[in-house]
Amino acid sequence: MAELNKDVVKKISELCRIGCTDQEIESLLEDLRQILGYVEQLKEVDTENVMPCNHVLKDMVNVMREDDATESMPRKTFLSNAPEQVSGLIKVPTVIKKKD
C-alpha cells in the first residue's frame, strides 16, 4: 500500500469532490492513520477456529408494512413547506460545482 500522506488525502478529496482546507487535510490524515492502525490491530486477531458470520440476518423476518398506494399530498400544500421554489419545483442549494 502506498504511504498515506497529505498528497494522497488531497487526491482523495478531489476525487470525492470535497473541498478541504489544509487544516482539514491534516485532521483527515490523522483520522485515516488511526483507522488504518486499528485495521492493522484487527489483522493480528486469531480467527482460525471462528465460524464465518456471512448471514447474520438469515433468521430475520420482514417486519415492514405493506406498500399501499394512498392519496398524495396536494402540490400546493407540499410546496408551501419548501423554503424556495421555481416553476412548481423545490429549489435546493448547488451540491456539485463545475471545476473551472
Determine, yes or no, domain membership for 16: yes
Determine, yes or no, domain membership for 28: yes
Determine, yes or no, domain membership for 33: yes
Contact present, 15 and 7 (Cβ < 8 Å) = no
Determine, yes or no, domain membership for 58: no
Average pLDDT over residues 66-88: 88
Which pLDDT value is given to residue 28?
94
Radius of gyration of the chain (CA): 24
Determine, yes or no, domain membership for 88: no
Q: How confident is the model at residue 39 (pLDDT cuts 50, 70, 90)?
A: very high
* Number of domains forming the structure of the chain: 1
Determine, yes or no, domain membership for 19: yes
Determine, yes or no, domain membership for 96: no
Q: 62 burial class (0-12, 13-18, 19+ CB within 10 angstroms)?
A: exposed
Please check the confidence at residue 2 and state whether its pLDDT lies above 70: no
9 Cβ contact list (under 8 Å, min separation 6): 20, 25, 28, 29, 32
Q: How confident is the model at residue 34 (pLDDT cuts 50, 70, 90)?
A: very high
Domain of 15, in residue numbers: 1-44
- The domain that holds 5 is classified in CATH as 1.10.20
Among residues 51, 5, 59, the alpha carbon closest in space to that of 28 is found at 5
Determine, yes or no, domain membership for 59: no
The pTM score is 0.50
Mean pLDDT, the chain, whole residue set: 88
